[in-house]
Amino acid sequence: IGGFDGTLHRPPGGGLIIELEPAAEAADPSATVERVLQAVLGTYSPRVLCDEAARLFREVTGYDRVMIYRFDDEGHGEVVAEDRRPGVEAYLGNRYPATDIPQIARRLYERNRVRVLVDVDYAPVPLVPRLSPLSGEELDMSLCVLRSISPMHVQYLRNMGVAATLVASLMVGGKLWGLVACHHDTPRPAPFGIRAAAELLAEAVGTRLAALECFVQAQAELSVRRLEQRMIEAISREGDWRSALFDNAHSLLQPVGATGAALLFEGQTLTAGEVPGTLELRELGRWLDGASRSASHGPVIASTALGLEEPRFAALIPIASGILATPVSASPGEYLVWFRPEQIRTVTWGGDPTKPMIVGHDPTQLSPRRSFAQWHQVVEATAEPWTPTDLATARLVGATVTDVVLQFRSVQMLIAQDQLNQVRQQVGISDQPVVVADGEGRIQLANAAFDQLLPPLGQAPATAGPRHIEDLLPHFEDSPDVLRRMRDVLENGRNWRGEVRIRTPDGTRPMLVRADPVYSAPERVLGHVFLFTDLTERKAADAARRRFQEGILAEQQPKPGRLDSAADLVFRNLLATVVENAQLAALEITDGVDVARIPAMLDSVRSSAARTTAVLEHLIRHAIQATA
């Protein structure tokens, strides 16, 4: 539009918002974009990626200082990477309280991925008219490029000695992971080309972060699968699974970075590494029975300051400030617990976190703190925080051990029928559907979770005697194949791992069947254990993968008339790198640690790829038009 760059979008209240700004000289961005995208793809750890991202952002934008700012679970931020001009003050390692970026600002960062302030001394201009003629309400300017900045934030920047900023959002898995904060000591324009390149780079970094974090989780999953195999082998070799957990302490401690672990099971304790004494462990088990569970972490209980949260455990601070516990059965007091010692550390804050605001002469006048001098806080009685991967790994280990315990106790029941009532209680309160049959296939036990899945087995007349495992066939969609599998288990003593669809009152449900014979001696089968695992979430994950692939393929299809042939060639070459980054992220998102999150994570990667594609197309079109 003449000597102006124009951007437009539709606000929620209807209409069209058009923003005009003086056009800036634009160079061909293709070489720079290709280079920075390849640099992002070439990183293989989150730390290296953050360091590289800070360097690339400074190279692309030209600001004096670039910081990668990550949020923790409590909302506090930490500068985890930095690239700066010589002579500019370093902020690397500084932490900032959650109050520095209010929730309303965080929601804005999730919607508007790049925010720019050219000059802290700018004069805001009122909108005319104040209310939208279309809606009669104030105009929603959340997505506007030229939207004014909060006076509080402007003063915050002045207090830091910053004259201009560009802030890009880092979204991982659909959530605000952190920010890229670019600061300049003097006013600095950020024309469309710079903003588009920054948004494109931020999307690429967020996608790569998702891939790398999922890779770490996949490695943890692999460790857990190996542990499961060792437990099964230990049962076959020694008749007990517990030795597999503690014969190799490193394999139990390393996946979650713990210094000690304890198993509380059937009134006994087994330990590895540095742990509290037996009496303290039993008291801890009783406390865990009443501890609250987090909805997001499932059955896992985690604390990094046990002695502070529960004073009766204050004596354990040196070796057990941090605990991570997961139940190994549905019985009370049975847990696998990991420990971390107290880590006395100094936290460096960018200013006093206890004084985020200053009250002026008028109590209604607030301003941000004026000093950002490093403020050191000594933190005691706390351990190194448990990461989301640690929590997910503990949840997976707990589920694995619970499965093995169920099978182990079912085997005990078959070997010693006089323990049937005890085992019926222990297996019965499990939330995983379980059926135990004798050597002939007559059902001895089906727990409440199985009765919820299918009509209760107890509805059969008492005179009918024990029901047979084959009586379940009408509930399976593919009955002939299921019958063949069942008879193979019963007659030939073979294991069965397979997927079935079960008819329930709510419709069909995909389930994974795990059937194992139990031997009392070679070639003598005592009975069989059938475990059922709901695959509904895994099927949703598979559907998300298909949507992802379809979406990626759609992004690669030609869009006639959008770009001329020369620009289209440049676009496709760069798009190939964007797609590669997205596909690598999708490959790393495995079923392992938290299958329920997979659809949202894949949809987030697909959305990021689509957003990046659109920004890339606009950037190329803008550069060509500006050059022409």
CATH number at residue 522: 3.30.450.20
Residue closest to 400 by CA, chosen among 357, 336, 451: 336
Is the residue at 478 inside a domain? yes
Is the residue at 307 inside a domain? no
Q: What is the mean pLDDT of residues 286-313?
A: 81
Give, as one character, the DSSP assignment of residue 138: B
Q: What is the mean pLDDT of residues 469-488?
A: 87
For 209-225, write each residue's pLDDT tens digit.
988 888 877 777 777 88
The mean pLDDT of the chain is 81
Residue 457 has pLDDT above 50, yes or no: no
The percentage of residues in the chain with a pLDDT greater than 90, rounded to a whole number, is: 25
What's the pLDDT score for residue 418?
44
Residue closest to 329 by CA, chosen among 265, 402, 396: 402
Residue 466 has pLDDT above 70, yes or no: no
Is the residue at 453 inside a domain? yes
Chain centroid to Cα 431, Å, comes to 24
- Structurally, the chain folds into a number of domains equal to 1
- Long-range contact set of residues 103-108: C-beta below 8 Å, sequence gap at least 24: 105/150, 105/153, 106/176, 108/142
**Amino acid at the residue 415:** I
| Residue ranges making up the domain that contains 443 | 431-534
Residue 609 has pLDDT above 80, yes or no: yes
More confidently predicted of 619 and 510: 510
Phi, psi of 359 (to 5 degrees): -90, 130
More confidently predicted of 133 and 65: 65
Residue 480's pLDDT band (cuts 50, 70, 90)? confident
CA–CA gap between residue 251 and residue 400 (Å, rounded): 15
Q: What is the mean pLDDT of residues 578-603?
A: 74
Is the residue at 485 inside a domain? yes
Helix or strand or coil: residue 555? helix
What's the pLDDT score for residue 461?
44
What's the pLDDT score for residue 410?
65
More confidently predicted of 19 and 464: 19
Residue 295 has pLDDT above 50, yes or no: no
Is the residue at 239 inside a domain? no
Q: Which of 155-164, 409-418, 502-511 has the lowest mean pLDDT?
A: 409-418
Residue closest to 300 by CA, chosen among 593, 616, 603: 593
Is the residue at 349 inside a domain? no
For 41-56, write each residue's pLDDT tens digit.
889 889 999 999 999 9
Give me Rg for the CA atoms of the chain: 30
CA–CA gap between residue 67 and residue 51 (Å, rounded): 9
Q: Which of 120-129, 242-251, 355-364, 563-572 has the lowest mean pLDDT?
A: 355-364
Residue 315 has pLDDT above 80, yes or no: yes
Tokens 């490093």 correspond to: 374
pTM to 2 decimal places: 0.72
Q: What is the mean pLDDT of residues 596-611?
A: 81
Residue 455 has pLDDT above 70, yes or no: no
Give residues with Cβ within 8 angstroms of 495, minimum separation 6: 489, 515, 516, 517
Is the residue at 438 inside a domain? yes
Q: What is the mean pLDDT of residues 47-66?
A: 95
CA–CA gap between residue 243 and residue 241 (Å, rounded): 6
For 339-390, write each residue's pLDDT tens digit.
999 887 666 666 556 665 444 444 334 445 554 555 656 667 888 889 888 8
User: Side by side, which strands form the sheet with 322-327?
Assistant: 268-273, 260-265, 335-340, 322-327, 301-303
What's the pLDDT score for residue 444?
80
Is the residue at 231 inside a domain? no
CA count, 13 A, side-chain hemisphere, 237? 10
User: Are the CB atoms for 552 and 575 separated by under 8 Å?
Assistant: no
DSSP states of 421-473 as a string? HHHHHHHHT-SS-EEEEETTSBEEEE-HHHHHHSS-GGGS-GGG-SPBGGGGG
What's the pLDDT score for residue 364?
37
More confidently predicted of 616 and 148: 148
